[in-house]
Structure 1
Amino acid sequence: MGENALVEAFSQQSRFYEETIETLSKEVDLQQVNINIGGQPLLQDTRLWFKSGTIYGLIGRNGTGKSTLLKAIGYGELIGFPLNLRTLYIEQLPPDTQEEQTVVETVLKADTERTLLMSEYDLLQKAINKYPRQLVKSIKKLDWERMKVRLAAQQKLATRRSGKRGAEAREELLVVEAEEKAAQEAFEAIPIEGVEPPLDVLNQAHEFLESVYNKLQQIEAESAEARVRELLRGLGFTPANQDLPIKMFSGGWKMRIALAQALFLKPDLLLLDEPTNHLDLPAIIWLQNYLLQNLSDNQTIVVVSHDRNFLNTVSQEIIRLRDHKLDYFPGNYDEYEMKLEDKAKMKDRISAALEKKRKHAQDTINKQRSIMNKTGDDKRGAVIASRQKKLERLAGYNKTESGHRFKQSYIPGFHFNMGLLVVKEAPEPSVTIPLPAPKELRGHPTTLLSLNNVTYAYPGATPLSKPVIQNVSLSLHHSSRIALVGPNGCGKSTLMSLLSGEVLPTSGSVEKFSSLVRIGYFSQHNVNQLDGEASKSAMKYLMDTFPDEYKSEPMARKYLGSFGIAGQTALLPMSTLSGGQKARVALAICVNGGPQVLLLDEITNHLDMATIQGLIVALKEFSGAVVLVSHDAYFIKAEEDGIVYRVKNGKLNRLEGGVDEYVKTVVAENKKGMRGGTGRPI
């Protein structure tokens, strides 16, 4: 759903509930939670349960609303959510972030409490030691600054809330605005030259200074910068780049800065939405180790991620969003899948046993009825009636939880009904990705595309600058399966751009077998381009991109529907689609026409587990050449016959041990404190 859609989020409240009451623990346990967005239900009468000291993996199909759920919690839109929990949802850097600040300064200033305390300490110390006549004015300024912080918080609350809660928040905002104005007037009433401070004000200032100092000690303010630099190093920032202004960094690197802010703040509830999307494998491995080693008993983390290995490593419980409900499963993602499979097998066995009993009862009835008809023995009617009742009881066992006929035995407290144990959960349909078969080329060439001794340096690079790619040769055949791995900034995407023809080599050549060789190139740039078409529907965008192929709406909708953009979804503005849905649209554009070569750069970003699995199957069946760039070890490993190259120092190094060899190398380098990435801006 789009960002401007109205969100309604509420939970069951007891008659003793007051919104200002704070819970005694850090645990969240809300009943009958409902979230509607744009009038459409996201959650319906479900339980929201977070235990302290736990890392949850939140899973669900694309478009089910995982991100919307996290935003509703993180933005304080869920009525009944405990107010004493410091909750943080990470999406991007705040819009008021100053682009001239360095990376380190930006992360440090995320801790508004520390920033305010440091400012207060400096102001008071200077006033007491150097400018005593400014002491009264300084204290008034501190009062005003604190009111500004309170006002900003209340403004956010009033903006995000609607209905009765919104009206109450706006009333409170008027009160806070008046108090902030009074504090400003009190500050401005003191002459610029200041006044001689009375003794009681001087004593108050010293007490104030001591209080601020003690708070700074409690939050370990002096070691904050060292801790921030260690976080940034783990996320791939070199020491030099940590001191660069953030305006020099791309969106992906800015997301890392936002992630560093979250880890630095250590909120009670941390909501991470696809944190691995902008991370390379070294940073992913570092992050999963950091989360596990630094999780406190009073902290809860909820992670949405498409990376199976990451979820398996960090998740202690899985929350599944399906059919407007939240279901909870102990263990990681693999254990969740195993539990579902075991549960289904158990219910199959119980169903088989019940079916055997039904058959036996029916056979007995048929036999007794046959004897009664032949002999006229009416006494057998009692036996038949008894068996018939038993059969009816057994028949009641096969009703589903949403069955067509309500049974009295389903009423709570009636009696234990074994039939409820055999309710079978309908499996979610598997995802099929319809990659068109490559168009056949005349001559049946052995080589479709090749890099021949290619070197590439960025435009404007000095002669002393090291090229990004140096003397690389690579050939793609019909059955080629190649994965490129390495830290961000090492040149993987540059190689993909060279293969696609988007950029030309500084030296060497890129050769196609013929002009008829078609290349399908998927990159995050393709997905980001869709944001520029926010008002267009996916159907309109497809028809505009390929006007000769899709001349009618039914044709366009049929094609998009095969990629999961079906029904009304194909007609919605692009701005309302989820990240996963946009990725599907971009993939549909990429493979249209049956390319012989697929270049897939971080295609798994934003895709759910089922879609990734569907893509794995589709790539196995695809008869053309495939080159992958991915930090998802599970996805790469699924291409069993693929060749894995590590891009390092501008060269391609073949890894005989595949992606497992790369993971081992990264783990070893992380332990040594080494990072292979450049932390390169832009």
Structure 2
Amino acid sequence: MLSVRDLSYRIEGRPLFEGANVTVNGGENVGLIGRNGSGKSTLLKLIAGELQPDGGAVQVPTNSQIGYIRQEAPAGDKTLLETVLAADTERARLLAEAETAEDPNRIAEVHMRLSDIDAHSAEARAARILSGLGFSDAAQQRACKEFSGGWRMRVALAALLFSEPDVLLLDEPTNHLDLEATMWLEGYLRDWSGTMLLVSHDRRLLNKCVDKIAHLQAGTVTTYQGGYDRFEETRREQLRRQQHMHEEREKERARIQRFVDRFRAKAGRASQAQSRIKMLERMQPIGEVQEDKAVRFDFPQPDELPPPLIALDHVDVGYDPKNPVLSALNQRIDQDDRIALLGANGNGKTTFARLLAGRLQPLKGKMTTPGKLRIGYFSQDQADELDLGHTPVQHMAEVMPSANKTQVRAHLGRFGFTQEKADVAVGNLSGGEKARLLFALMTRHAPHLLILDEPTNHLDIEARQALIEALNEFAGAVVLITHDPHLIELVVDRLWIVADGKAKQFDGDLEAYRQQLLEQRRAERAAAKRQQDAEKGKADPGAGKPAKDDGLSKKERRKQAAEAREQTKQLRNEAKTLEREIERLNEKQREIEAKLADPKVYNGPTADLQELQVAHGKVKDQLARAEDRWLELQEQLEAAS
């Protein structure tokens, strides 16, 4: 059990935690959430021993291995695969000892321990993790120093997962991932059997991969059972009840105060008035709900232009005329379009976005746009171009030279900048505040098209929700590159796949795309297995003979086939049982959701509502596990066929 007790920690004299408590039982997966600056990353560092608390204690089980990614990305001449394998320090030590040990007994012990930790499959496991995070077989053999910082952070994540620590600490693990790698990581963490603390603003990840939520607010930590959606429901109901109790208490205090004011001076009622004064003194106030100020996004609405906003006719784009990144692009974008660009990092999504934004010109073909088209382009790289000594007001004034101070501040106010915050140097702004400043800068001229390349990396959940609402109210076109599936599901209505040097529309939703990725990975694993079998066949010519040349009679071959069917019978039976269970759980979920949709339930007993919410969370968890197990069985059956 991991325990944080009465924790206090201050930064430059400002209390970040005051008497915070949280307990994580062995094998629990906990999501740490809270507004930017609430102390999520600091809490992980305190647990990892990177920082020391000012008071209280962090207790970790004795001899437990804590896995935590440091800020330094791996580099050097080691290949990616070698870097990940080296993360298992026990395996590396035992392999080195096996080469030098001379005592037969010790050699036997070493090899027995290597067998116990499944060392023979380590390379395959490391390769699977790297592959899931987007590294091809060829890339895995390249040196770490050849990759950018973002890609090397993926290697650090792969090494951390491969080491299989007892306590896994993850701080925004999807920030350096594309959507495809995020989907893979979701599946991997969902099956994580150790203890995990996950800091994330990804709602889907927090719904699929954690058992409970630890909410950091005002220096304390409050835990809630279930994933993020259940936390949100429970907290909303708690706040509603607290506000109701506060209002009722204030009414009661006002009623007693009126009695006191009326009868205090009357001799016949003075003692009663005095009694009520003491009653008032004993009444503990119930605090009014004080929610954090909501983050605001408000994109200026553009005027309407004749369609299309952009038309591409056999366009090639890239950085080398002889070797374009994308070719034969034939797309159009209209003002009511909501498009997400999907595809693994390195396939050309950002190149495509730069083309649409006018940052790159076509190498070939024709790109047509209206003369009055205005485009707003957001990229995290633009944060590096901000002057750290300038304030948001100064930045906005530079790009709005004809606007007065009131207009400049009004535009910043659209993105949550108060008068005080607008006068803070950019170097002292948080990552989320810098992102909001970039939104303000890119929309100063009311663009017809917003192109957003990973806009949510530094936004907390509330800010992401504000962005979703603002995009849905925006009257122009939107092109998104994001690893946040929740953002795609609630904003986008068209998916374009950028892969193999092309960009094509995907006929389906995000869930269909997720299933396609799963099928592709299964096919890749099957192809790799066939390749391994073929290589074994070359080493052993007899291994590759067709069945008709194996010297068996038809009767013996039928017997073998029957035995094979018998071996998969259990898998097939379990799959059928799961199909019935999935159908039952779906029906149960629909029944509970119908009850939760009835307004009467929110006016009835609180216990009944909580019971429904708990049941809803349990059914969702059971359904997710059943579906995951069914997919695993299908893979096993395909491999056996």
TM-score scaled by length of structure 1: 0.68
Residue 389 to residue 285, structure 1, CA distance change in 2 (3 Å): farther
Aligned equivalent of 2:69: 90
AA aligned opposite 1:453: H
Residue 110 to residue 551, structure 1, CA distance change in 2 (3 Å): farther
SS at structure 2 position matched to 1:278: coil
Residue 524 to residue 364, structure 1, CA distance change in 2 (3 Å): closer
Residue 575 to residue 302, structure 1, CA distance change in 2 (3 Å): farther
AA aligned opposite 2:219: H
Q: Give 1:546's match in structure 2, choosing from 355, 379, 399.
A: 399
**Residue 659 (structure 1) shift:** 2.7
Q: Give 1:244's match in structure 2, choosing from 126, 132, 142.
A: 142
AA aligned opposite 2:222: D
Residue 555 to residue 578, structure 1, CA distance change in 2 (3 Å): same
**Residue 430 (structure 1) shift:** 1.8
**Residue 356 (structure 1) shift:** 7.5
SS at structure 1 position matched to 2:137: coil
**Residue 252 (structure 1) shift:** 2.5
CA distance in 1, matches of 2:241, 2:426: 43
Residue 457 to residue 436, structure 1, CA distance change in 2 (3 Å): closer
Q: Give 1:479's match in structure 2, choosing from 318, 332, 336.
A: 336
Q: Is residue 511 of structure 2 the alignment partner of residue 660 of structure 1?
A: yes
SS at structure 1 position matched to 2:174: helix
SS at structure 1 position matched to 2:8: strand
Select the structure of larger CA radius of gyration: 1
Residue 573 to residue 387, structure 1, CA distance change in 2 (3 Å): closer
Residue 272 to residue 207, structure 1, CA distance change in 2 (3 Å): same
CA distance in 2, matches of 1:78, 1:639: 43
1:428-470 CA distances to partner (integer Å, 9 max, x unpaired)? 22211132333x47xx4333333222223552755xxxx5433
Aligned equivalent of 2:215: 320
Q: Is residue 491 of structure 2 the alignment partner of residue 639 of structure 1?
A: yes
**Residue 339 (structure 1) shift:** 0.5
Answer 1 or 2: which has greater helix percent. Answer: 2
1:527-578 CA distances to partner (integer Å, 9 max, x unpaired)? 3445xx5x534448726963836897x9867755653455665566655543
AA aligned opposite 1:261: A
Q: Is residue 362 of structure 2 the alignment partner of residue 505 of structure 1?
A: yes
CA distance in 2, matches of 1:352, 1:107: 58
Q: Which has the higher contact order (CA 8 A, sep 6+)?
A: 1
Residue 550 to residue 248, structure 1, CA distance change in 2 (3 Å): farther
Deviates more, 1:598-607 or 1:349-358: 349-358
> Aligned-residue CA RMSD in angstroms?
3.6
CA distance in 2, matches of 1:316, 1:483: 31
Q: Give 1:311's match in structure 2, choosing from 176, 183, 206.
A: 206
**Are 1:498 and 1:510, in contact at CA under 8 Å, matched by a contact in 2?**
no
Deviates more, 1:260-269 or 1:343-352: 343-352
SS at structure 1 position matched to 2:157: helix
- Listed as ranges, the matches of 1:102-501 within 5 Å are 102-122=79-99, 124-125=100-101, 128=102, 209=107, 212-296=110-194, 300-348=195-243, 350=245, 381=268, 389=275, 393=279, 407-408=281-282, 423-438=287-302, 440=303, 444-459=305-320, 468-501=325-358
**Are 1:88 and 1:262, in contact at CA under 8 Å, matched by a contact in 2?**
yes
Q: Is residue 3 of structure 2 the alignment partner of residue 33 of structure 1?
A: no
**Are 2:321 and 2:363, in contact at CA under 8 Å, matched by a contact in 1?**
no
Identity, in percent, stands at 35
Give the total of aligned pairs.
521
**Are 2:80 and 2:142, in contact at CA under 8 Å, matched by a contact in 1?**
yes
Aligned equivalent of 2:632: none
AA aligned opposite 2:511: D
AA aligned opposite 2:198: V
Residue 563 to residue 359, structure 1, CA distance change in 2 (3 Å): closer
Residue 570 to residue 219, structure 1, CA distance change in 2 (3 Å): farther
Stretches of structure 2 lacking an aligned partner (at least 5 in a row): 527-641
AA aligned opposite 1:450: A
**Residue 338 (structure 1) shift:** 0.3
Q: Give 1:61's match in structure 2, choosing from 35, 38, 51.
A: 35
Residue 594 to residue 100, structure 1, CA distance change in 2 (3 Å): same
Stretches of structure 1 lacking an aligned partner (at least 5 in a row): 1-26, 129-204, 397-406, 411-418, 676-682
**Are 2:313 and 2:366, in contact at CA under 8 Å, matched by a contact in 1?**
yes
**Are 2:67 and 2:167, in contact at CA under 8 Å, matched by a contact in 1?**
yes
Aligned equivalent of 1:522: 378
**Residue 497 (structure 1) shift:** 1.1
SS at structure 2 position matched to 1:303: strand
SS at structure 1 position matched to 2:3: strand
Residue 559 to residue 215, structure 1, CA distance change in 2 (3 Å): farther
**Are 2:4 and 2:59, in contact at CA under 8 Å, matched by a contact in 1?**
no
AA aligned opposite 1:430: A
**Are 2:329 and 2:502, in contact at CA under 8 Å, matched by a contact in 1?**
yes
Q: Is residue 455 of structure 2 the alignment partner of residue 606 of structure 1?
A: no
